[in-house]
Amino acid sequence: MKLVLTQYTEIVVLVAVLILLFGLYLSWTATRLDRLHVRLDAAWLALDAQLVRRSAATQELARSGLLDVASAVILATAARSSQIATEDEREPAESALTRDLRAAFDDPQQLALLRQTPEGTDLVQELGAAMRRVQLARRFHNESVRAVRELRGHRRVRYFRLAGRAPDKPTFEIDDEPPVAIGR
Amino acid sequence: MKIGIVCPYAWDVPGGVQFHVRDLAAHLIGLGHEVSVLAPADEDTPVPPYVVAAGRAVPVPYNGSVARLNFGFLSNARVRRWLHDGNFDVLHLHEPITPSLSILACWSASGPIVATFHSANPRSRAMSAAYPMMQSALEKINARIAVSEYARRTLVEHYGGDAVVIPNGVDVSYFADAQPDPDWTTPEGDGGPDGKGGTIGFMGRFEEPRKGLSVLLEAFPAIVAARPATRLLVAGRGDTDEALKALPEEVRGNVTFLGMVSDEARARLLRSVDIYCAPNTGGESFGIILVEAMSAGAPVLATDLDAFSLVLEGGEAGMMFPNGDAAALAEAAIGLLRDPARRDALREAATEAVRRYDWSVVAADILSVYEMVTESTARVNAAQVTAAQLSAEARAEARAESRAESRSESRTDWRGQR
């Protein structure tokens, strides 16, 4: 085959190079986006694990027999509802658990009483750590959601469908403020 | 846990980030973890056994100040080798926004990465040029930590993205247990309502205007006029003659310059004084010196900077005065020196306030972040889909179980009624 050099060759080559570069740029963006999606999945797993841990810690405290019966029943119920909540009910259920925990430890005497026994001290310690971890994990998760959304919002990602079929995950919004007495 | 920490600034130059890394590493090792710190240092700089020297740092003007940094192929190769040899469970970068070892490590590493943002330097226009390049590296970070609410705000406003606040750590008991030095305390009976004296402490490189010694010196004659035996103890490097020029002849005898002091002397000085004064006019993102003073039980009198106000809990754990207002400083200092009961109250509030800055609390928080990041990321790498599915399956199972439970419960009730 004979190579035909016409006046258009230069332009054709230039366009081909530009398309190649743009393709590389898209592929690089897709890699970035994929990495962010993986990070978001990891952040969600971590958050889910911490929420489960918090509700388990609450349940254990409720069943320990160290609390008054009213508090124990309220906390056990709230912990259980957070565990069985469907995806849509999860946020309100977890917020409710936080509020019930705050109500239960509103009275500083409750805490003082619990801390009198070594078992109670351990349980409170565990619950405090779990609540703190929920706060941390939620921040990390929502930060990941923000990063994914920012990149997905770019035109090159939308037009070329670089996000594929990965769902657009929402942030996880709950009240996670621990009771003042446990927070410290 | 095997932890790799990257310190971006030269190890042998004292600085907040370096101290933070040093104390964190020591504390984690104390808890039984394996820690390796990669830091810029010459081959012949004496370093602790856990530090890996990454070579000499080159001073480079960057973002308005001179940063001593490592870069180039050699540094990059060293970073890669360190990452490879270390085989870490988690990588902890410090100050990844500066172009430094931290960003090199972030570029080369994959897996769980934690980063701590220390400074509250706003992003400059010039930095915007490089930011997209850095951003793709920063996206790898799984968990971001800011050392103060102030540093976090800077991150949110200038760089995008959020962080959790885990403050700088202080070894509270080290300061609380230090022995007061009789030379630096007020003689018995001289500090009370009718006494004439008291000691005021100041620390820092005082030739730097932002440390605010000039404000304190401007206020000092008025303090001496009200309480003639008041002494001012200044620790830190600087030109003493230059500093003294600002003072009238008759009060110069009340000022003692201690020069550079050892860590132990710092703690003893803070333990001895009646007031620790921090008249800084700006540039502080955290104010660790205030936490140290509060740990030592020194009542704090500081400028009302945002960062200080957070540490002093809005004035409950220490007194504040308007930035640069020498008259207000003098009035507050005189008031405090006259009132031992007020000083005791501040001490008590401060002791309570510093608990959350103790290394035991701070390191535990940082460790929870490590655990969270390693647990989930390791799982994701191994089986991204299965883990998510497992969790969903477990929840569905729990729901089914609970429905069965409630059914059986209602049945029991019904039988009970019969």
Of B140, B144, B391, the CB nearest to A143: B144
Question: Which domains occur in chain A, in start order?
Answer: 25-165 (1.20.1440)
* Residue B51 token pair: 């530090």
pLDDT band at B381 (very low <50, low <70, confident <90, very high): very low
What pLDDT is stored for residue A161 in this prediction?
84
ipTM comes to 0.84
Evaluate if residue B400 carries a pLDDT over 90: no
B405 occurs within a structural domain: no
What pLDDT is stored for residue B45 in this prediction?
81
Of B372, B391, B398, the CB nearest to A137: B372
Testing the interface with A: which of B114, B136, B139, B354 to mutate, by most A Cβ within 10 A?
Answer: B139
- Look at A50 and B387 and tell me if their CB atoms are within 8 Å: no
| Residues B186 and B285 both lie in one domain | yes
Q: For residue range B130-143, what is the model confidence (pLDDT) as tens digits?
A: 677 777 888 889 99
| Residues B143 and B192 both lie in one domain | no
In whole angstroms, give the CA distance from residue B119 to residue B161. 15
DSSP B379-413: HHHHHHHHHHHHHHHHHHHHHHHHHHHHHHHHHHH
B418 occurs within a structural domain: no
b vs e for B186-214, b when ≥16 Cβ sit within 10 Å of the residue's Cβ?
A: beeebbeeebbbbbbbbbbebeeeebbbb
- Look at B162 and A38 and tell me if their CB atoms are within 8 Å: no
* CA B368, B371, B375, B381 torsion-angle sign: positive
Domain assignment of residue B248, given as a range: 172-356
Q: Are B123 and B62 in contact (CB under 8 A)?
A: no
- Look at B163 and A36 and tell me if their CB atoms are within 8 Å: no
Q: Are B273 and B201 in contact (CB under 8 A)?
A: yes
Minimal Cα–Cα distance from A114 to chain B, Å? 21
- Look at A39 and B139 and tell me if their CB atoms are within 8 Å: yes
Nearest CA in chain A to B137: A32
Window A:54-83, CB contacts with B under 8 Å: 80, 83
What pLDDT is stored for residue B386 in this prediction?
42
Nearest CA in chain A to B110: A35
What pLDDT is stored for residue B65 in this prediction?
60
pLDDT band at B406 (very low <50, low <70, confident <90, very high): low
Amino acid at B30: G
Testing the interface with B: which of A31, A131, A134, A143 to mutate, by most B Cβ within 10 A?
Answer: A143
pLDDT band at B415 (very low <50, low <70, confident <90, very high): very low
Q: Is A160 on the interface with B (CB under 8 A)?
A: no
Residue ending a domain, among B165, B190, B222, is B165
| Residues B318 and B223 both lie in one domain | yes
| Residues B156 and B188 both lie in one domain | no
Testing the interface with B: which of A25, A39, A171 to mutate, by most B Cβ within 10 A?
Answer: A39
Q: Is A134 on the interface with B (CB under 8 A)?
A: no
Strand intervals (E) in B72-183: 90-94, 113-117, 143-146, 164-165
| Residues B28 and B121 both lie in one domain | yes
Contacts of residue B65, Cβ cutoff 8 Å, sequence gap at least 6: none
Chain A with chain B: Cβ pairs closer than 8 A: 82
Of A38, A132, A133, the CB nearest to B380: A38
Q: Does residue B79 sit in helix, strand or coil? A: helix
B416 occurs within a structural domain: no
For residues B300-307, give the mean pLDDT.
92
pLDDT band at B111 (very low <50, low <70, confident <90, very high): confident
Report the CATH number at residue B48.
Answer: 3.40.50.2000
Q: What is the mean pLDDT of chain B?
A: 83
- Look at A142 and B162 and tell me if their CB atoms are within 8 Å: yes
What pLDDT is stored for residue A52 in this prediction?
95
Spell out the long-range contacts of A155-160 with Cβ–Cβ below 8 A and sequence spacing 24 or more.
Answer: A156/A25, A156/A26, A156/A29, A157/A29, A157/A33, A160/A26
What pLDDT is stored for residue B297 in this prediction?
93
B154 occurs within a structural domain: yes
| Residues B110 and B159 both lie in one domain | yes
* Residue B313 token pair: 């809990």
| Residues B234 and B306 both lie in one domain | yes
- Give me the residues of chain A with pLDDT under 70, please: 1-5, 183-184
Evaluate if residue B148 carries a pLDDT over 70: yes
Residues of A in contact with B399 (CB under 8 A): 84, 86
Residue ending a domain, among B314, B341, B356, is B356
| Residues B316 and B342 both lie in one domain | yes
For residues B209-227, give the mean pLDDT.
91
pLDDT band at B219 (very low <50, low <70, confident <90, very high): very high
Cα B120 to Cα B123, B153, B165, B222: the distances in Å are 9, 8, 13, 34
Provide the domain count of chain B. 2
Evaluate if residue B124 carries a pLDDT over 70: no
- Look at B143 and A39 and tell me if their CB atoms are within 8 Å: no
Contacts of residue B189, Cβ cutoff 8 Å, sequence gap at least 6: B195
B370 occurs within a structural domain: no
- Look at A45 and B380 and tell me if their CB atoms are within 8 Å: yes
Minimal Cα–Cα distance from B397 to chain A, Å? 9
In whole angstroms, give the CA distance from residue A34 to residue A29. 9
What pLDDT is stored for residue B63 in this prediction?
58
What pLDDT is stored for residue B404 in this prediction?
59
Residue B364 burial by Cβ neighbours in a 10 Å radius (0-12, 13-18, 19+): middle
| Residues B207 and B349 both lie in one domain | yes
Specify the pairing of strand B58-62 against strand B65-69. Answer: antiparallel
In whole angstroms, give the CA distance from residue B379 to residue A42. 8
Testing the interface with B: which of A41, A59, A88 to mutate, by most B Cβ within 10 A?
Answer: A41
Of B139, B369, B375, the CB nearest to A49: B375
Q: How far is CA A60 from the centre of its chain?
A: 24
